[in-house]
Amino acid sequence: MLGIIGAMDVEVKKLREMMEDPEIQTVAGMTFYQGTIKGKAVVVVRSGIGKVNAGLCSQILVDRYHVSGIINTGIAGSLRNEVNVGDIVLATDAVQHDVDAAGFGYQPGEIPQMGIKEFPADAHLREVAVRCCQRANPDIQTFCGRVASGDQFINSREKKNWIRDTFDAYCTEMEGAAIAQAAYLNQIPYLIVRAISDKADDSANVDYSEFEAKAVEHSVRLMAAMLEEL
């Protein structure tokens, strides 16, 4: 069974509507919908925004539903000029840009005593996602690269440039790396799928609401195509 996490209702509502006779359970304030989409057994859940919610949601999926993998779908801000609004970024790995233990000799993003700061995404899930996105969303670009997460909405060019230059990331959002860390600790595969809703620069506040719906549409089409193939 595959777990699918979205941070906001708009990111998972259409997926829930595609499910056949879901079983519904609420745990820790999160509502889990278990059923099938395109013949694939899945659990779809809205985690809520931020890393704590995302990490907790991931562990519930592992402990209660025994998922074999997790896909985190949603929207993000671009960190690169070539990654435009509407495009898709598929994680090669994920890092927490707001983790800072430099006072103890750690690199930016490195979690103390873990010996790792980038959590690798699953190559097979990513390969399937690339093929499916090219088929389901032929009008947009698909990029594979690092996702940077933090409990911050990034809407300044200065902060965008710092995250890009420090972590060589393609996009920034608020949940993916927490899900990646939970998947790493539980030794299950994961993939972060991010549709770009804004350029994560000084125009982010203006772009976000205008392009959110289009970004979600691209993400949902990709997820439906992936579930048909997996």
Active site residues per annotation: 11, 198
Name every residue whose Cβ is closer than 8 Å to that of residue 30 and which is 6 or more positions away in sequence.
Answer: 45, 46, 47, 48, 53, 56, 57, 60
Name every residue whose Cβ is closer than 8 Å to that of residue 61 and which is 6 or more positions away in sequence.
Answer: 3, 5, 32, 43, 45, 67, 70
Q: How many CA atoms lie within 13 A of 134 on its CB side?
A: 7
For residue 199, give the 3-state DSSP assignment.
coil
Q: How many CA atoms lie within 13 A of 221 on its CB side?
A: 21
Reference 148, options 119, 173, 178, 166; nearest CA is 173
Whole-Å CA distances, 12 to 47, 156, 175: 10, 28, 15
Dump the DSSP string for 139-193: TS-EEEEEEEE-SS----HHHHHHHHHHH-EEEEESSHHHHHHHHHHHT--EEEE
**Cβ atoms within 10 A of the Cβ of 112, count?**
10
Beta bridge partners of 119: 94
